[in-house]
Amino acid sequence: MNTENCTFEQIAEVIHNNQRFVVMSHVRPDGDALGCTLAFGLCLQQMGKDVVFWNEEGCIEKFLWLPGSDNLRKPPTEPETFDVAIVLDTAVKDRVGACLPAVKQAGVWINMDHHVSNPRFGDLNYIDPTSPATGQIIYEFFKKCELPFNYAMADNLYVAISTDTGSFQYSNTTARTYEIAADLIRVGVNVGELSQRLYENYPRRRLELLRSLLNVVRFSSGDRVASFALTQAVTKELGLLPDDNEGVIDNIRAVEGVVVAAFFEELEDEKVRVSLRSKDARADVCKVALQFGGGGHTLAAGIRMRGSLQEVQEKVLTAINDTLPNH
């Protein structure tokens, strides 16, 4: 493991000098994870490389329309050997889930990410916690190293950046982010069409989920923390898919006076998935997540931990309360 950042040129050299690649991202993928995986894989294809695109869940329903999504597969049961394994937008190595044991051997592991909690688990690491999305890092890499770039890659990187910046609303959005978006539009991205697909095309079951969650909203820590929980019973009753709850936490994060929002999802394997969002950098939810083996960013982090739904809620809410700034 190399704890220092490598250069884009070092990554490009490895790519040019090898032939067989696997590109992966984290479980329960979001737009940044899938957009980066697809854009990077498509770039390698344009370079004449042998490449497979993997995610533990394949391409989830919400993103099936992305260019190149038909390349994305669940990892095979029989492990395969590669010259290079590329892990994108993934805070820790085992977050690629079933993809990890599917790699029998890889000569080089490349790790490109923007999570501040990333321990730099690759042979070559490029970690930039100041970047609002891994998609922005990948764009800079493609351009700096003059790698192939086309409309399909532009669409995927726009989705990656848009989703991880809250449609360019979060505080991590920079002037450079807008400059990159403008360049992607010049390449051919249709902002109206992509935004409609991303933000105005939810299945009805998501509305039913939101109705259920709003009935169990809990306020604590002097109403500065808002949380809700999704049980396995409700998941089965509504026929929910894993990606249906993406972004629902923003509905309680947006409440006036709320500093931190938390979403607890009961999983089948006696674990609970926790999503955390903060509106104040002094309430660092990454520090909270790290206490329980999770990670992420100052204002957005996640955890998967063993325990009952009630136990996990109490432990995490107590930790959140301890990290809140004084009035």
Tens-digit pLDDT string for the chain (327 aa) = 566 899 999 999 999 999 999 999 999 999 999 999 999 999 999 999 999 999 999 999 999 999 999 999 999 999 999 999 999 999 999 999 999 999 999 999 999 999 999 999 999 999 999 999 999 999 999 999 999 999 999 999 999 999 999 999 988 899 999 999 999 999 999 999 999 999 999 999 999 999 999 999 999 999 999 999 999 999 999 999 988 998 999 999 999 999 999 999 999 889 999 999 999 999 999 999 999 999 999 999 999 999 999 999 999 999 999 999 875
What whole-number distance in Å separates Cα of residue 130 and Cα of residue 149? 24
Would 8-199 and 205-323 be classified into the same CATH topology? Answer: no
Q: Provide the Cα torsion 176, 180, 181, 186; round to 10°.
A: 140
CB-based contact 63:162 (threshold 8 Å): no
Token look-up 């959005």 returns 173
- Tens of pLDDT, residue by residue over 97-145, are 999 999 999 999 999 999 999 999 999 999 999 999 999 999 999 999 9
Residue extents of the structural domains in the chain: 8-199, 205-323
Which residue type is seen at 80? Answer: E
Burial-class residue 54 by CB neighbours within 10 Å (0-12, 13-18, 19+). Answer: buried
List the CATH code of the domain at 8-199.
3.90.1640.10
Indicate the CATH number of 205-323 among 3.10.310.30, 3.40.50.720, 1.20.210.10, 3.90.1200.10. Answer: 3.10.310.30
What distances in angstroms separate CA 290 from CA 2, 38, 127, 185, 319, one per listed residue?
Answer: 21, 29, 18, 37, 11
Query: How much is the pTM?
Result: 0.90
